[in-house]
A and B are shown apart, each in its own frame.
Chain A
């Protein structure tokens, strides 16, 4: 019997720590209680997995502390029908069954704080295989055959970077992991580090061996405290077991690890900016070339990959690059993890083979829109990506196909939006982000994004002018051409894609002074429907600016000049008489 409580950041935020403590109180055999990472079913947290004596899994979902006494009884009596009402439904089980998990293979299965759990599941076998009989060239060849490409956003072939770093002259080389997951809406890297830190370590060890690095550095966001703690713990355990340090597994391969906590700058996800930050400087991108493979950290040959990329490496070594490459499309091999969020019924982490469609992920796995809403768009790739409308839902998940829509694969954030999301406001949201996060090095990015933000601001507040759309487009092109780094060059994408697919919404804001999604407050008009109003006067009492007047038991009206559109009248009206236009 094993009882594992999911303890990723999301699980803990949903209350899994309290559930764990309660279970500890009620369970007779306390040694059967353990923790695990994130299974990726965030919409069902807190999740408790019970493996009975026949090793059959009983997955309990949305567990509350008050359920724990009954759970303990069910365990004691080996009678799981007692807790049927909190057992996962058949429909929700499909969320996992429809996935193919490679990078997430151990997430939610093993205890991330115990190295032996990882080893029992085939952990560190890949590095053993590499050190026992593969040359660095063999490793690079295997990765080349696999077709693995960078999962952080750019989709650059991993083998090519490794090969370039390997061929660079110099004794001192560095392998760096970019765990500065800054895209709002993406959290797969955090989940991997929190749930399966050794997978990252093993992938990095193999990479370090391939390029000839003796030091590995993981640059993690400071906003991920739990990931840092679990990774520190994992590094310590791996050192004790002899997987990290001098003469690893008795060979002459030596490699050390250290963690560097980032300090909160989105641009540090760009590899040269990350290197600047590692060196203790302002994180501003460098001019390329020279590429990091030639002159990176302290101007030594360096290779940088993202967490998810490394998480695939050990699997490829053990199962062969060929097997990995059988999954996916001609241009994109293997699987990709997506963080499915927003107005989605079943949100969480989804890993699927490339080549599936957006519709497969959002509707088949994610269950469609929350509260039976209507799908409007999906945002892919964070501030560098774009919004894809319904007509393109059958787009195949593939680096090239997604780029053709104007969005990008990016790190895999997938934010689903329904009809209540205003696309102009969405574009403004991303520009607000880019304006704040622009490092300031390139004029077009620093000032261009600011001017674009101002234009979007005036459009959503009802002061848009004819010609604003064209002006936005012109600024977009200027930034694309005039920015040095990938982040600057892609910053206009949210604006360009929303103009491309939702131009009518921009026009409605500018010409008709109307927000079709009814989200932009300044453009809303509150009125009271005479037929529904019973004259109870509640709205008028609540109105903070005395904009509502009328006679009791007759009907009330709103003075739109005075109205500040706070929405209080609508929230107090019991008859649904307050309408927004």
Chain B
């Protein structure tokens, strides 16, 4: 275990996943995906634990994890805003949408609001190009966005809290 002051994660939550996959070759990405489902991100102690259990080095695990955009190393907000940066969205004004989100929430790509409610993440094409510009908040997709529409969606989410 490292000497950092990172939060102590409950590693027992990972037992089932490791039990199922740790002896199947080529399962590292699957294990990391399941771990992220459990913890919401990949805490450092979890990465060390996975390395130990799969008989490899933390460097190797982190090397794989950082290669893929799906993996996060910081906790995310309650609402994860995935803003599509595909070509169709770009042509139809996703830049303006990003600007609006920045103005409304004060966060840039990869950041979380201080109250822990929203995280903004720019993502590659979500594949809803006909509704561009598009964003996804948690599981829900919002299309044909305009700055006004974005402000309304965000304030509704805030009010619901």
A: which residues have CB within 8 A of B?
A: 9-10, 12-14, 42-43, 45, 181-187, 190, 222-225, 260-261, 263-266, 277-283, 298, 339, 341-343, 347-348, 379, 382, 413, 415, 417, 421, 426, 429-430, 433, 437, 439
Q: A14-B143, A263-B33, A280-B26 are in contact. Are A223 and B123 (CB under 8 A)?
A: yes
Q: B63 touches which one: A9, A265, A282, A437 (CB < 8 A)?
A: A282
A285 to chain B, nearest CB (A): 13
How many chain B residues touch A (Cβ–Cβ < 8 Å)?
38
Complex contact A182–B125 (CB within 8 A): yes
Q: A225-B139, A413-B87, A421-B91 are in contact. Are A282 and B130 (CB under 8 A)?
A: no
Complex contact A342–B91 (CB within 8 A): yes
Q: A13-B141, A266-B124, A433-B124 are in contact. Are A42 and B92 (CB under 8 A)?
A: no
Kindly report which residue of chain A lies nearest to residue B31, judged by CB atoms.
A280
Complex contact A10–B125 (CB within 8 A): no
Complex contact B139–A184 (CB within 8 A): no
Q: A-B pairs with the 4 shortest C-beta distances?
A: A42-B130, A184-B86, A263-B68, A13-B141
- Please give, as numbers and ranges, the residues of chain A lying within 8 Å of B88 by CB-CB distance: 184-185, 341-342, 415
Kindly report which residue of chain A lies nearest to residue B68, judged by CB atoms.
A263
Query: Could you list 11 examples of A-B contacts with CB < 8 Å?
Result: A13-B131, A13-B143, A182-B124, A184-B90, A185-B87, A187-B129, A223-B127, A341-B130, A342-B88, A347-B129, A429-B87
- How many residue pairs link A and B with beta carbons under 8 A? The number is 129
- Please give, as numbers and ranges, the residues of chain A lying within 8 Å of B128 by CB-CB distance: 9-10, 13, 187
Q: A279 touches which one: B26, B32, B69, B70 (CB < 8 A)?
A: B26
Complex contact B131–A280 (CB within 8 A): no
- B27 interface contact, C-beta 8 A: yes
Kindly report which residue of chain B lies nearest to residue A268, judged by CB atoms.
B68
From residue 5 to 44 of chain B, which have CB atoms closer than 8 A to chain A? 25-30, 32-33
Q: Beyond A9-B128, A184-B86, A184-B88: 8 further Cβ-contacts under 8 Å?
A: A42-B129, A185-B129, A223-B124, A263-B71, A265-B68, A280-B25, A348-B130, A413-B87
Q: A184-B86, A264-B124 are in contact. Are A341 and B33 (CB under 8 A)?
A: no
- Please give, as numbers and ranges, the residues of chain A lying within 8 Å of B32 by CB-CB distance: 263
Q: A14-B143, A184-B86 are in contact. Are A280 and B27 (CB under 8 A)?
A: yes
Complex contact B124–A417 (CB within 8 A): no
- B126 interface contact, C-beta 8 A: yes
Complex contact B91–A415 (CB within 8 A): yes
From B86, B125, B139, name the one whose CB has the most chain A CB atoms within 10 angstroms: B125
Q: A185 touches which one: B125, B131, B143 (CB < 8 A)?
A: B125
- Please give, as numbers and ranges, the residues of chain B lying within 8 Å of A283 by CB-CB distance: 67-68
A184 to chain B, nearest CB (A): 4
- Please give, as numbers and ranges, the residues of chain A lying within 8 Å of B92 by CB-CB distance: 342-343
Q: B91 touches which one: A223, A225, A260, A417 (CB < 8 A)?
A: A417
Kindly report which residue of chain B lies nearest to residue A275, judged by CB atoms.
B26
Complex contact B70–A222 (CB within 8 A): yes
B7 to chain A, nearest CB (A): 24
Render B90-131 as a binary contact track against A, CB cut-off 8 A, 1 for contact. Answer: 111000000000000000000000000000000111111111
Q: A264-B70, A265-B69 are in contact. Are A9 and B141 (CB under 8 A)?
A: yes
Q: A184-B124, A263-B70, A282-B63 are in contact. Are A379 and B87 (CB under 8 A)?
A: yes
Complex contact A343–B91 (CB within 8 A): yes
A283 to B26 Cα, complex, angstroms: 12
Complex contact A278–B26 (CB within 8 A): yes
Render B126-155 as a binary contact track against A, CB cut-off 8 A, 1 for contact. Answer: 111111101000010111000000000000
- Please give, as numbers and ranges, the residues of chain A lying within 8 Å of B143 by CB-CB distance: 10, 13-14
Complex contact B67–A265 (CB within 8 A): yes
- Please give, as numbers and ranges, the residues of chain A lying within 8 Å of B131 by CB-CB distance: 10, 13-14, 42, 45
